[in-house]
Structure 1
């Protein structure tokens, strides 16, 4: 059973051989397959570009969502700076992945498309000129070989046919020679028939050998012509493989974040910021800003002084208040109402109570602060999320 399988496998291998007429089509079809592979490569990495674009958008959205919350968080000092660094790093990475998306589409994708257009020449009625040229070359080289094989096959079939007939006559002769019931004349007739069959077989065998010799003599020329066309096809395929290798290396360069200096700089800066978290420095800042280190006016004896405001000073104050209101109106002030109490921490910040109404004269900046004017004319900054528009 194993011998039969082996013989069948060998027969299948021979039937699929490149040298068998018509089997060159697999080599010719490589042109169309390569063209389709280019389409698949472009589509594949265009989809990867969409992934990079979506990732960049999600990074930016995540950063923008948390920035105002981080700004108003209870953390302070180097710890707050470290938290903010995660958000700024995300912004820089978003920019990098956006550029990666553009490179995959505008650089790598367009490069493959341009090469594809230059390397594959479509025919008006379908197919490619390169496929037709190789197919024509192989067919021309195989035509005389196929004719000789057909002639050889015919000679072999004729020889096998007469050989079978000779074999049957020999069996009859052997059977008659050992059988006393067969007459001498009949045995002689069978012997003559066997001799005639042998002569015919020898003649057909000689013709078969002659045709085989012709085929064998032509084989080197056939192989040379076929290999010449095949080498041309191989050279075209080598160019395709070399180009696609360069295209893949370019894609790898754009996707490889491990060697990109800008990405390295992002994470290096983030690491340095995290390592710079200093508990002692933060505690010292808190002590000097909100603790015992704050400056204060210790109680001292003060003489009483009568405060008098002249009519001129009162008029000046009213004029200043009106000027502040007119200024806010001129620059497009918007009336807002405080949602919560807020005590200004710095000299340029406002202090107000919940429900108090005043004018917003500048919109929210990147840090979540607006500029407004209180009813008394004081101008300063306040958190945007502490008020609502009236």
Structure 2
């Protein structure tokens, strides 16, 4: 009894074998499965592209929301620059993920679609030319083999039927001979039946053996033809696997931000900005801008001098006309100031220039020097002329 599961398993395996009639269908169907797999791959990574786009949008929205809050923060100096760098880095990352979205759709998706169109050729009445060609090739190779198998199965069935009859006749003969109540005539008749059944069995056995030999002789040719068609199918599948491998590698290259030079640049710049936070520089700036380091005009004795009237020269008239066009207020510097940033003005005590924007929350005004340079300056360093 313990051998039955093994025998049944072996029989099931033989029934599923590629060599059995009709079992090549899964190989033929592989073409249609590959076409559907391409559709699934494109749909899968189009959905990933939407995730990348939504992430980029969320990053941009976050940066836009916090930028004015950060810019108006009470933080200053290198600490403020570090906070602002988080937002500028986020803008660059949002741009990167937008480009990933575009690459997944327009580059990777289009490449797979184009290859799919060139590789799979649909027939008018459904299916693909490639799978139809394999179907016909396998069917032609298997047709004579299937006929021989059918003939062999018929011969085997006839032999097994004759063997069962012979076995039954032998059982009856043994029963009759061992029973003294059975008449001699009946015993002789049972012996004749067994001999006839035995002769029939030998005859059918010889036919079965002959058909089996014929099938065995044809098997190498059948295997050669089937393997030839199968190898063609394998070559087509090899090309599909090779292409999809390259497609997956391309998708990986677009998604792998760890090796993206622009991402490395973003985080290196952010790291350098954070490392550049200096309490000494920030405290020094505060001291010079809002503390004891600020210059002042200490009281001193001043002689009275009468005001002199000057005629307005040509340059002064041009300057006044230009200031009238821009709009603003003439101011005079009370102290020397050297701009610490590229967008700040530098001037000496007594210099006059135009204030074109009023003081902001942090105590800075925007001015325009007579030479044409525009920039920021501390509001408490000047007075209105």
Match of 2:59 in 1: 59
Q: Give the gaps of 5 or more residues in structure 1.
A: 329-344, 354-368, 373-378, 383-390
Match of 1:260 in 2: 260
Match of 1:163 in 2: 163
2:254 matches 1:243: no
Deviations 1:322-359 (A, max 9, x none): 984x767xxxxxxxxxxxxxxxx988564479xxxxxx
Identify the range of structure 1 (121-130 vs 283-292) with the bigger mean alpha-carbon deviation. 283-292
Partners in 2 of 1:2 and 1:82 — Cα distance? 77
Shift of 1:9: 2.2
Match of 1:147 in 2: 147
Match of 2:207 in 1: 207
Report SS of the residue matched to 1:124: coil
Partners in 1 of 2:134 and 2:250 — Cα distance? 31
Match of 2:25 in 1: 25
Contact 2:326 2:356 survives alignment (8 Å): no
Shift of 1:294: 0.7
Q: Give the gaps of 5 or more residues in structure 2.
A: 328-343, 346-353, 368-373, 378-385
Partners in 2 of 1:351 and 1:220 — Cα distance? 98
Partners in 2 of 1:322 and 1:229 — Cα distance? 89
Contact 1:100 1:254 survives alignment (8 Å): yes
Deviations 1:43-92 (A, max 9, x none): 11111111111111221222122222211111111111111111111111
Q: Spell out the pairing of 1:17-96 with structure 2 (5 A cutoff).
A: 17-96=17-96
Shift of 1:7: 2.6
Shift of 1:289: 1.1
- What TM-score, normalized to structure 2? 0.82
Shift of 1:283: 0.7
2:16 matches 1:6: no
Partners in 1 of 2:195 and 2:12 — Cα distance? 39
Match of 1:116 in 2: 116
Shift of 1:113: 0.4
Report SS of the residue matched to 1:84: helix
- What TM-score, normalized to structure 1? 0.81
2:233 matches 1:233: yes
Contact 2:173 2:187 survives alignment (8 Å): yes
Match of 1:105 in 2: 105
Match of 1:337 in 2: none
Shift of 1:14: 1.4
Report SS of the residue matched to 1:271: helix
Partners in 2 of 1:350 and 1:301 — Cα distance? 34
2:187 matches 1:187: yes
Match of 2:383 in 1: none
Partners in 2 of 1:82 and 1:306 — Cα distance? 53
Q: How many residues matched?
A: 343
Partners in 1 of 2:84 and 2:246 — Cα distance? 40
Partners in 2 of 1:185 and 1:370 — Cα distance? 139
Please, what is the CA RMSD of the aligned residues? Answer: 3.1
Contact 1:348 1:381 survives alignment (8 Å): no
Q: 1:165 to 1:54 in 2, by over 3 A?
A: same
Shift of 1:303: 3.4
Partners in 2 of 1:44 and 1:305 — Cα distance? 86
Partners in 2 of 1:47 and 1:37 — Cα distance? 15
Contact 1:350 1:381 survives alignment (8 Å): no
Shift of 1:102: 1.1
Contact 1:287 1:294 survives alignment (8 Å): yes
Match of 1:336 in 2: none
Q: 1:351 to 1:306 in 2, by over 3 A?
A: farther
Q: 1:300 to 1:36 in 2, by over 3 A?
A: same
Q: 1:348 to 1:52 in 2, by over 3 A?
A: farther
